[in-house]
Amino acid sequence: MQGFSALRSARLTAGVFVLAAALSGCAGLFPQTAQLAEEGPPQGAPREVELTQVPFFPQVEYQCGPAALATALANFGVKVTPDDLVSQVYLPERKGSLQVEMLAAARRRGMVSYVLAPRFADLLREIAAGNPVVVLIDQGIGPLEYWHYAVAMGYDYDYGQLILRSGETERRLIPFALYEFMWKKSGYWAMVALPPQRVPATADETRWLAAIAAFERVGDARGARTAYASFLARWPDNVNAAIGLANAHYALKELPQAEQVLRRAASRAPDSVIVLNNLAQTLSDQGRDEDALPLIERAVAAGGPFAAAARETREQILGRLAKKTR
């Protein structure tokens, strides 16, 4: 094992010696910490990062969820305090917050929320990219659970330490191994809440698209338009994202823009019933029913699970054409 750099330099401390002993004898308890020590920092990530600009909201008793989420949101300019979020994420009967409520509250504030893959390296990569990460850890002892949300906003690989905004502590330093011991009890749960124009450093194509779709359902068409456009800048061949972008343009009554996006999608997926149907609808709504009819005929002929919707669109277009001939 290579170990963290501090283990083989003049900067050794007693705490690091404890960590070294733990890693050498109990790697099964801290598998991801051991892997970090073996492989080094994630590729492209610096050895030390601290996002000092991340705000700090001291936690009121049991209300670590609102405080942590407010920290992540305010970092990107959202005007919010923990008190603003209490009614949305804090459950008095549980004296805490559920992860699903944390994700939903971020969306209601105009941010796209995303659950990271359960990997320590991904946590460090997000921090290195400038994204504070909300994490869920169990600070209980033995069988007693004490769940706590904190915000990871820095790390020092050479010392093997994570830096958190946590509870009433603005800058909590915690060894990687101890952090992992508490973190793995939540299944290594962590989330980021990012502006629509931003894509997580560790984003998975399928899961990030699902996160944008969940954000879109809140009803922010402008934000969804931005999020889908940013997505397509990274994954330009994703037809489902193109459909989402076109839908956002359509909701904003930007029909020429929706048409443009759908035509590009049709060049990539010429047999997609959804693309054909939506392009036909968009053309018809611009008064171009003659252009729309061949497209919707192709969609109906293709069949499949969306055939009923295509037939309904076809009837609408035929009705509009009939009115023109009267």
Q: Quickly list H helices, the chain.
A: 14-25, 31-39, 64-75, 82-89, 99-108, 120-128, 176-183, 205-216, 221-234, 239-251, 255-268, 273-285, 289-302, 307-325
Residue 27: per-residue pLDDT = 66
Which residue carries 């002892």 as its tokens? 141
Considering Cα of 180, then 184, then 186, then 191, what sign does the dihedral take?
positive
Measured between alpha carbons, how far is 221 from 227 in angstroms, rounded to an integer?
10
Can you list the domains of the chain with their CATH numbers? 5-39 (no CATH), 48-194 (3.90.70.10), 219-325 (1.25.40.10)
Query: CA separation (Å) from 262 to 47, 163, 237, 251?
Result: 44, 45, 12, 14
Residue 326: per-residue pLDDT = 73
Residue-by-residue pLDDT tens, the chain, 326 positions: 345 654 434 333 444 434 444 455 556 788 999 999 999 999 999 999 999 999 999 987 768 999 999 999 999 999 999 999 988 887 776 666 789 999 999 999 999 999 999 999 999 999 999 999 999 999 998 888 899 999 999 999 999 999 999 999 999 999 999 999 999 999 999 999 999 999 999 999 999 999 999 999 998 999 999 999 999 999 999 999 999 999 999 999 999 999 999 999 999 999 999 999 999 999 999 999 999 999 999 999 999 999 999 999 999 999 999 988 87
Compute how many other C-beta atoms are within 10 angstroms of the C-beta atom of residue 56.
Answer: 17
In this structure, which amino acid lies at residue 272? S
Measured torsion, CA atoms of residues 123, 128, 133, 136, in degrees rounded to the nearest 10? 30
CB 254 within 8 A of CB 278: no
Concatenate the DSSP letters of all residues of 63-77 into one string: -HHHHHHHHHHHHTT
